[in-house]
Structure 1
Amino acid sequence: MPIVDRAQLLTQLSPPLDHLLCSQLLDEFISAEKRFIQRDWEPAELDGGQFCEILARIIYHKDSGNLSNAKSFDDCNKYIENDQVNHAIQPRQNALHLVRVLKTVYKFRSQRGAVHISPSYAPNHMDAKLVIECIRWAMNETLRLFWNGDREQVAKAIRELLQFDVPCIGKFEDVLLVQRTDLSAEEELLVLLHYAGEQGFSRTECGRHSQSAASTVTRVLQKLTDPSVRQVVVLRNGNYRLTDLGSRRIRNELAAKLLLE
């Protein structure tokens, strides 16, 4: 599946989670990821509080049995941390670990001041990275606890959620299009395979989604799968997917080209 497939995540999480809260949570998570990869640091730093509020309500609902779409962040946490009431989430440390991470993000983003380490280092980037990594952990832990499906599928979803989003790829009905015009044929195929995730793309799909000639696509795939490069691997079903070396190249060399500019 493409990275961060919202519809599948919502289906697998709701039920058991409340549909509205789960939908809101996924929207906040995906928005935070996209803004972060687009280097829009301030929303990732400030808007992380909305993700925390929604997830706190979700945990409160599952732990108490009471559904509230407006209960405050602090009130949700007070119940979850209260040793004098009965808790549905067991073992208790699962809920406690989550709310402690959420409290760190919630308080940090509201109290953090601009502390300049050096003239060349942007503290808002550092702060936003801390917030986004905590949000990623909390989202992955939510999947682990509440995913309503096969355990291998949740493991796959968690792995793919840890990858970059691909803002430069647009989906128009059943057509995928890399909307940047400054990529080489090799870079375009790497970006497409990054988007394809663990499932990968078949040779036919690679050709269909690429704007390069068929002969160029074949030549590039041969190069990327060559033993001397090993950035792409052919799966048993014939699909092509990125290796760890290919993913590292995306992160180190092509991250800026995932943006829509």
Structure 2
Amino acid sequence: MTLTVSNLLGALPPTLRDELFSEFNKLLKNYREGRWEPAELEGGKLCEIVYSILRGYTTGTYPSKSSKPAQFKQACDALEQLSSASFSRSVRIQIPRILIALYEVRNNRGVGHVGGDVDPNRMDATFVIYSAKWLVAELIRIFHQVTVDEANSSIELIVQREVEDIWTIGNKKRVLKAGLDAKKQTLRLLYSCIDGKATVDELCDWVEYSTKSNYKTKVLNGLHSDRLVEWDQNNGNVHLSPLGIEAVEAEL
């Protein structure tokens, strides 16, 4: 089955489903472009959508579109009082508590930053992005209308690593950080891919190397010899190794 938004969350009304993915994609775009505060704001809107989904699921009546409860924390706390016989712990406790934490960062952190060497907006946006990924993945796990394997694959897609200096445009990826040689670009690109895997053709295109033969000889051979990647020359797949992951994370 082809995975689409409609069958990933097929049990939800189309309006809420579309709202969720639209807001999630806006959040991802802002984060990848380094727009920290807008990413945090999108995280707040996502919270309201997820709450509306939970409220509709637990009451049996979904709203036509999401809305913000008058008292967000109290509304989420109220979900904890639902019957454990009727609703999973994820629906009653885990998702609502993540929503509360995410909403708190979105509402009450912006005016409280004082000092420190780490950009707090960047730090907060990173918390927001991974919390949002967890929320969407958890909703897919609960509401999917695809096979278990397909649901798991879609979750893997959602929770793949975010690398701030990797720009995804269509089917291409580009390393935006200047000064990295082709080997370091290759490692970062693989790090940003699902399961740390890409084909030789993809990598050569993304790095914009002169020729594929030179890319194999001058880049992949060395990375493979150093055990930073595993290059399968039979099928053309390149996998990032644990050593390669360490090398990338040491420079992030």
In which range does the TM-score fall when normalised by the shorter chain? Answer: 0.7 to 0.9
Deviation at 1:178, TM superposition (A): 3.4
Q: What is the aligned partner in structure 1 of residue 220 from structure 2?
A: 221
Pair 1:249–1:92, CA change in 2 (3 A): same
Superimposed CA distance per residue, residues 38-83 of structure 1 (whole angstroms, 9 cap, x where no aligned partner): 3322123233110101111112222222121144334864763454
Q: Secondary structure at the match of 2:50?
A: helix
CA contact (8 A) 2:196 2:240 kept: no
Q: Secondary structure at the match of 2:62?
A: coil
Pair 1:244–1:147, CA change in 2 (3 A): farther
Is 1:114 matched up with 2:112? yes
Q: 2:92 aligns with which of 91, 95, 101?
A: 95
CA distance in 2, matches of 1:243, 1:139: 28
Q: What is the aligned partner in structure 2 of residue 245 from structure 1?
A: 243
- Give the letter for the 1:116 counterpart: V
CA distance in 2, matches of 1:159, 1:10: 15
Superimposed CA distance per residue, residues 142-194 of structure 1 (whole angstroms, 9 cap, x where no aligned partner): 222223323334334333424116753433xxx63637586533244335434
Pair 1:9–1:192, CA change in 2 (3 A): farther
Pair 1:235–1:54, CA change in 2 (3 A): farther
1:26-65 alignment to 2 at 5 Å? 26-65=21-60
CA distance in 2, matches of 1:71, 1:88: 27
1:131-210 alignment to 2 at 5 Å? 131-160=128-157, 161-164=159-162, 167-171=166-170, 176=172, 178=174, 183-194=180-191, 196-198=193-195, 200-207=197-204, 210=207
Q: What is the aligned partner in structure 2 of residue 234 from structure 1?
A: 232
CA distance in 1, matches of 2:241, 2:215: 18
Deviation at 1:97, TM superposition (A): 1.5
Superimposed CA distance per residue, residues 80-136 of structure 1 (whole angstroms, 9 cap, x where no aligned partner): 3454xx799622543332112112222342233323253x33332333333333223
TM-score normalised to structure 2 length: 0.75
Q: Secondary structure at the match of 2:87?
A: coil
Pair 1:169–1:36, CA change in 2 (3 A): closer
CA contact (8 A) 2:166 2:189 kept: no
For structure 1, the 5+ residue unaligned runs are 1-6, 256-261
CA distance in 1, matches of 2:37, 2:198: 35
For structure 2, the 5+ residue unaligned runs are none
Pair 1:223–1:35, CA change in 2 (3 A): same
**Percent identical:** 24
- Give the length in aligned residue pairs: 241
